Structure 1
Amino acid sequence: MRDQYLIAQVQREIASVVGPENVNTDETLLHEQSADWSWISQYLKYKSLPVPTADIYVRPGTAEEVAEVLRIACEYKIPVVPRGGGSGTQGGTFAIYGGIAMDLRRLNKVLHIDEVSMIVTAEAGIEGPELEKILNAKGLTMPHYPGSFHFGATLGGYLAARGSGVVSTKYGKAEDLVLQLEAAVPPGKLVETMKVPNHASGPGIMQAIVGSEGTLGIITKASMRIERIPESMEFLSYGFKNISEGIEAARRIMTDRWRPAVIRLYDEADSAKLSSWLNLGVEGVLLIIMCDGKKALTALESSEIAKLCEAVGGKSYGPEIGKMWWDGKYEPFKHGNIPAPPQVFGTTDTCARFEDLEKIYWAKKKVIEEGFSEYKARYTAHFSHWFPWGGMIYDRFYIDNGPEDPQEAIALHDRVWDAAIKASLDNGGSLNEHHGVGLKLGRFMRVQHGAAFDLLLGVKDAWDPDGILNPGKLGFGPPKNGRY
């Protein structure tokens, strides 16, 4: 009864800030706010099992309301779990300690388009397609098109998990596109970072908030780089005898400092899957490349890249396969193509230097397919995003017939993750490249960072002394308040 009274009291105080219509305790709505696209969330829904939910749902409409709700939460020491479109895959919106589920989707305005500096400033809750529609009307684009583009992903979500997009090889990830942030931080105040990301004015506060998944601050506004819609797009596609040749072709492209917008390298299994979805009619290891920009630039760049690919042993399929891929780039994320329970699956993406990429691929393939052979586990991969120093592996495991018992199925899921993460880290990879950490991977944070993780814990304690901002995520542990 004391808990019920406390929740009712907090709800009334929040209602005075955001309006009674924007706060409630409806059980169905609270379940929706806790859910995301993680396997565990989908599996619990499939099994009609409950997900951990908050106690109060709130939908602020301005940055000032976000800060004021956070102030109330700080006074009562109640957790706050911010949420955008719920397209995350790591259990980042699970409210395992209850508290307030903060829906940011009313913060959905474009505030300013600066065509002189090529910067757009928008509120954090705007969805990617809506922002793109507004920019496209002016011949502009924000070059960040993630697989979650049509799953409700928001600007704040892009930044909270350091997301990658289809053309990040040329334009950078969300963390590279952002120039300035506004965020609500304890004990309920708004802070704004510098107008420029490059400076010599001490450590970068903005990049501490980016990737923090709501554990250090709640992003309310961001200024992002934009580009003109490209004048020209040139497509190439190549087949290779093996994954080694494909990786070497991509390495040469990047280390020769060509800048294609897209380099996608598919192993045999992922290539077969992609070919069936898009009717490509190819098999084996497939490499897709797209160069964009001024026509003179794309003509030169595609010509030189073609020479590199052929020198490594690539067989050209011509531009049409690449164009078909571009037109169907969201096909793998459509319902019916994305994996779903009762299948046990996970996307264990990692990034590494060029010298480590291939050994990570083989190590993970072995540990999954041989280590879980009794379940007929399968491993597929493509290399999605590339850097001047290395690349990223977007890989998945699949177990078609897992245990029927929920606890056994969840335990199997976690064991495969344990093995996959260990193989990545033991061979020079990272915990993750662009899906974030959330609740699911928090247990690996100290393994990834070693003694440096204590520095992150110190930042968390200093910025959020009560531990109420999205507790339990990023390996940061529970709130300090015993009530939760």
Structure 2
Amino acid sequence: MSTTSSAGDVSGRSYLRGQIARELTAALGAEHVSQNPADLQAQAADWSWYSKYLAFKGLEQPAADFAVRPANTAEVERVVQIASDYRIPIVTRGGGSGTQGGTFAPYGGISLDLSRLTDIVEIDEDSLIVTTGAGIDGPTLEKTLNEKGLTLAHYPGSYHLGATIGGFIAARGSGVVSTKYGKAENQVLQLEVVVAPGKTVTTLPVPSHAAGPDLLQSFVGSEGTLGVITQASLRVDPLPEARGFLSFSFPDIFAGIEAGRRIMTSRLRPAVIRLYDEADSYKLRDWVGTPFTGTLMVVMCDGSQELVDYETKAITAVVEGAGGASLGPDVGQTWWDGKYEPYAKGKLPQPPLMYGTFDQVARFQDLPAIYRAKKKVIEEQFGQYGARYTAHLSHWYDWGAMLYDRFYVDEPPADPAEAMDLHDRLWDAGILAGLENRAVLNDHHGVGIKLGRFMRPQYGTGFELMRQLKDAWDPDGIMNPGKLGFGPPRNSAW
């Protein structure tokens, strides 16, 4: 390319950048539009190992060109209109607590921070529904609900790391009491979503209907690739009158899985079942203070005192019948009181340690094979690196459970390129071992950019239908490009 042409390109892009900045500023106000590199880096960062590793190494995150903070749905509409006019990407950001690189902006564009959308619009105490802005964080909403004797009952590990309502829904998030109260997709009833080229869609007021396909669940889990969630109505529940705790030990993880299966297929409904293999039980002892007993299960039931008494008695009988040894209520209470300790400062894994959390989900009959296959491939195929594998099962369903398993490499390669290569090979080995044994890619952490390459092997022909939906709703491909395996923008002028 000639010097003249190159200079012209730089000048043209500089002019275009200035024009976009002026339009964004006119729409939102100068204080809510930034091109400051520090702001852009902060907007790109999340809790993924890759993001933390880049920061540890002093390297830049894949960042947007503009960071904006709209105040309401109308302003989000205007930002999406501007992005559509100039065919530049939009990367939606909630609290930045994701672990899959969902806030990375590999193609530049606009980082759309929803942290100002925090209004609680309505608390319908007759229907037990709250309607709120997508940018509100869990603890803030929960405090207001608790004052009315209500709870959203959605307490993820990221609860105190800034996770927002919009983030819960966009990534199909889950909390510690999901076994009884459900995940985000079970709690959300209605959404307001801004789609390209800057129009707002409001789904039906209830999700259970026979009025055609359900638009609601198309947006749930879409991670900003189909639209920007600006407002949500969610089911809330009364605060429980009582809680009851149980704990059990087992000869091995497989006996514990069978006990959990019997609880769930008996259609008992504890709020919590957590089952830890020996390696994770060691971590739990050090982080939370529970005693090490080999394979450990903790259970919590809540509701009326009568219901709690019935369920704890019935669950104890089921678990003991499956070979579990009762440890009494105190261990379960200790776990509940310290459930956020693993996420406390200094306890979450950090680089230079290499780590990754798979959290695949499967039917009961497939879980033992998945556990064996993943433990084997991580510890044997990567034995030269000292790779370790730990697991617990933390979200249980009528038909199966989620395996929250993690790899660790204490001393990864010092060279960033070699470290990333090892990181991706570990992910390839673990995810594919799960898929080969009928695991589903992810339970509640989302896909982001990190797991996009697995969407085609997971869905097969179904992935092409997803791509066609994406193409129809977002023809320029500007909505969070690079995520969910959908690839780059298609017609970008940026």
TM-score range, shorter chain: over 0.9
- Structure 2 partner of 1:18: 28
Aligned to 1:250: 260
How far apart, CA to CA, are the structure 2 residues paired with 1:313 and 1:454?
46
Q: How does 1:367-446 map to 2 (within 5 A)?
A: 367-446=377-456
The match for 2:65 is 55
1:356 is aligned to 2:366 = yes
Residue 19 of structure 1, CA deviation: 1.1
Distance 1:334 1:448 in 2: 34
1:275 is aligned, of 285, 288, 301, to: 285
Alignment match, 2:48: 38
Distance 1:152 1:468 in 2: 26
Distance 2:391 2:490 in 1: 41
Give the structure 2 partner of residue 107 of structure 1: 117
Amino acid paired to 1:310: E
1:436-474 Cα offsets, whole Å, 9 max, x none, are 000000011001000110000000000000000000000
The residue that corresponds to 1:266 in the other structure is 276
In the TM superposition, what whole-angstrom CA distance separates every residue of 1:386-439 from its partner, at most 9, and x where no partner exists? 000000000000000010100000000000000001111000101111000000
| Pairs within 5 Å for 1:146-185 | 146-185=156-195
CA distance in 2, matches of 1:343, 1:289: 31
Match of 1:234 in 2: 244
Residue in 1 that maps onto 2:303:
293
8 Å CA contact retained: 2:88, 2:492: no
Q: CA deviation at 1:278?
A: 2.2
Which of 71, 78, 94 is matched with 1:68 structurally? 78
> 1-side partners of 2:13 and 2:237: how far apart?
51
Measured in 2, the distance between the counterparts of 1:24 and 1:408 equals 34
Partner of 2:215: 205
SS in 2 for 1:360: helix
Partner residue of 2:4? Answer: none
For 2:330 and 2:147, locate their aligned partners in 1 and report how far apart those are by CA, in whole Å: 28
User: How far off is 1:482 after superposition?
Assistant: 4.5
The question of whether the paired residues in 1 share the 8 Å contact of 2:478 and 2:492 is answered with: no
The alignment partner of 2:155 has SS state of coil
User: Partner of 2:355 in structure 1?
Assistant: 345
Maintained 8 Å contact 1:114/1:120:
yes
Tell me what 2:493 maps to: 483
For residues 44-91 of structure 1, give each alpha carbon's deviation from its aligned partner in whole angstroms, at most 9, with x where no partner exists. 000001111111111000111001110111011010001001000000
Aligned alpha-carbon RMSD (Å) = 0.7
Distance in 2, matches of 1:100 and 1:327, equals 40
Give the Cα separation in 1 of the matches to 2:444 and 2:279: 22
AA in 2 matched with 1:349: D
Q: Residues of 2 paired with 1:448 and 1:372: CA distance?
A: 24
Q: CA–CA distance in 1 between the matches of 2:400 and 2:66?
A: 44
CA distance in 2, matches of 1:174, 1:412: 33
Q: In the alignment, what sits opposite 2:3?
A: none
The equivalent position to 2:98 in structure 1, one of 83, 88, 103, is 88
Between the aligned partners of 1:188 and 1:428, the Cα distance in structure 2 is 39
Work out whether residues 270 and 381 of structure 1, in 8 Å CA contact, stay in contact via their aligned partners in 2: yes
**How do residues 130-145 of structure 1 correspond to structure 2 at under 5 angstroms?**
130-145=140-155
Matched, 1:223 2:233: yes
Contact 2:288 2:342 in 1 (8 A): no
CA distance in 1, matches of 2:416, 2:269: 47
Which residue of 307, 312, 319 corresponds with 2:322? 312
Deviations 1:131-180 (A, max 9, x none): 01111111110010000000000000000000010000001000000000
SS at 2:157's partner residue?
coil
- Match of 2:244, SS state, is strand
Q: Is the 8 A contact 1:7 1:56 kept in 2?
A: no
**Could you tell me how far apart the structure 2 residues matched to 1:408 and 1:189 are?**
44
SS in 2 for 1:394: strand
Structure 2 residue aligned with 1:124: 134
**Which of 461, 468, 472 does residue 471 from structure 2 map onto?**
461
| Residue identity matched to 2:230 | T
Counterpart AA for 2:459: H
**1:224 Cα deviation after fit:** 0.4
Following TM superposition, by how much is the alpha carbon of 1:380 offset from its aligned partner in structure 2, in angstroms?
A: 0.2
Q: Does the 8 Å CA contact 2:440/2:458 hold for their aligned counterparts?
A: yes
Q: How far apart are the structure 2 equivalents of 1:63 and 1:279?
A: 45
CA contact (8 A) 1:18 1:60 kept: yes
TM-score by structure 1 length? 0.99
Deviation at 1:281, TM superposition (A): 2.1
Structure 1: gaps of 5 or more residues: none
SS of corresponding position for 1:149: helix
The one-letter amino acid of 1:253's match is I
Q: CA deviation at 1:483?
A: 3.4
1-side partners of 2:177 and 2:413: how far apart?
39
Distance 1:88 1:245 in 2: 32
State the distance in 1 between where 2:289 and 2:201 align: 50
- Paired residue total: 484
Q: Establish whether residue 449 from structure 1 lines up as the match of residue 446 from structure 2.
A: no
Contact kept, 8 Å, 1:265 with 1:286, in 2: the verdict is yes
Distance 2:363 2:430 in 1: 18
Map Cα deviations across residues 354-403 of structure 1 (whole Å, 9 max, x no partner). 00011101100000000100001000000000000000000000000010
> CA–CA distance in 2 between the matches of 1:243 and 1:58?
47
Residue identity (%): 60
Cα separation, 2, equivalents of 1:397 and 1:50: 25
Deviation digits for residues 193-216 of structure 1 (CA, Å, limit 9, x no counterpart): 000100011111010001000000
Aligned to 1:327: 337
